[in-house]
Amino acid sequence: MRIGISLVDLAIGGAQTFLAQLAAGLDERGHHIYYYLFASQDNPTYATPSLISTFNRHAEKVARPVDLHRCEAIQLDGYHSIWKKLPYLKVLDRCVETYQSAYSIKRSGPFYLQHRVCSSRYIQGLFGRPARLIYQGVPRLIGPLNSERSYDLAILGRIHPVKGHLLFLEICERLFKAQGRLSAALIGGYPEMGPYQRLVQSKVAELINHGVEVCQTGDLAHSEVYDWLKQVKILLVTSTDEGFGRMALEALACETAVIANPVGGLLEIIQDGQTGLFAKRDDPQSFAQLTARILKDPALRVQLARQGREMVARHFSLDAMLDQYETLYQQIAQGG
C-alpha cells in the first residue's frame, strides 16, 4: 500500500517521534511510504536532523503536497491548520488526522477530518467528537537491563515551560540539601533560546556550583534516548500537562522507575504504587519525598520499574500500534 505522511514540521517531540516510528514500522512491513514537510529542512528548530534522517531512510520525500494524492491513505500530523489542509481538499476522504495534545486540537480546527485518531482517552475527552483511540507504542527492548544506574534521576524532553524543568531543578536542589550528593541528567535539547531556556541554564549552573552533578545531553537521536534512560534510576515527569506521556512509556520500557505529575494521559499509563508513583501536582516537596524514598529502597525501585516494563509490553507495544494504523489505512483504501 502507498501511504503518505504530511508534516507541518519535524521539531523534536513525542508527536514527531511517533510519526517517525510509524513511517519506519510501516516501511518494514512492506508498505511504500512518502512524506511531505512544510517546514524548511535548513532550520534545525523545525526539522530535527535525526528525525529527517529516519524519514529519509524509510520514506520518499515529495516536492509538493499534491504528490501525496497518489497514496491510498494520507496521515496528517495533527497540526494542519485549515490552510495547510487545502492542498488535500480533493482527497480528504483518504486523510487521517491524529491529535496528540490540546494544542494539536486547537491548531487543527475548526475543520476536522472524517478519519480522526486521539492518542489517549484524555485527548478524546478534550476533543469532544467521535474519534478512534490508538495509543502510541514503544519497541520492546531486549535485555539485560542493568539495575545499577549512573544517574539518580532525570527529566526527558525539550527545554520548554510545559515540561517543568524549573520544578525538576528545584527537586534536585532539595534532594541535594537533604542527601549531600546527587547526580541528575537533563535528556533533551533547547528548541530555541528564550528567557525560560536562559533561566534553566542559569539554574543548572547554580546547582553545579553547589556540587550537584548535572549532565545536559543536548539534542539526541531517538535511539540514543534509550541508551540514556538505561543509565537512570528514576525519571521525573514534571510536565504541567501531557496529552499522552510518551516519556513515561520509554522510561518504563528501559526499567527506569517513574514519578510523575498526575496530569493528562499519564493517568492512563501509570498505576500509582504498581507501575510508578504520582506526586502531588506541581509540589516539589512531594516529588522530593517520593524520590528520596525510592533512592533509599533499591528493591522497591526495581519492582516498580519491572512491573512498569511488563505493563508497557502488554498494553503499549509498537506492534499493536502499527497493527491498528495499518488496519485503519486498509479500511480507507477499501473505501471504508
pLDDT tens-digit readout, 70-116: 999 999 999 999 999 999 999 999 999 999 999 999 999 999 999 99
Cβ atoms of 232 and 149 within 8 Å: the answer is yes
pTM recorded for the entire structure: 0.93
Where do the H-state alpha helices sit in 38-164? 49-58, 82-85, 102-108, 121-127
Same fold, 2-137+317-333 and 151-315: yes
Name the CATH architecture for the domain at 2-137+317-333. 3-Layer(aba) Sandwich (3.40)
Instruction: Answer yes or no: is pLDDT of 141 > 80.
Output: no
Instruction: Calculate the dihedral angle through the C-alpha atoms of 81, 84, 90, 93, rounding to the nearest 10 degrees.
Output: -40
pLDDT of residue 46: 82
Which residue would you say has higher pLDDT here, 42 or 250?
250
Work out the percent of the chain whose per-residue pLDDT is above 90: 87
pLDDT of residue 194: 87
Buried b (16+ CB within 10 A) or exposed e, 58-90: bbeebeebebbeebbbbbbbbbbeeebbebbee
Mean pLDDT for 172-190 is: 95
Tell me the three cell numbers of residue 233: 534510576
pLDDT of residue 143: 60
Instruction: Answer yes or no: is pLDDT of 144 > 70.
Output: no
Instruction: Answer yes or no: is pLDDT of 142 > 70.
Output: no
Burial class (CB in 10 A: 0-12, 13-18, 19+), 140: middle
**Domain residue spans in the chain?**
2-137+317-333, 151-315
What is the C-alpha separation between 131 and 28, in angstroms, rounded? 27
Work out the percent of the chain whose per-residue pLDDT is above 70: 99
Min mean pLDDT across 190-204, 207-221, 272-286, 312-326 is at 190-204
Instruction: Answer yes or no: is pLDDT of 242 > 70.
Output: yes
Mean pLDDT for 18-38 is: 97
pLDDT of residue 105: 97
- What is the CATH code of the structural domain delimited by 151-315? 3.40.50.2000
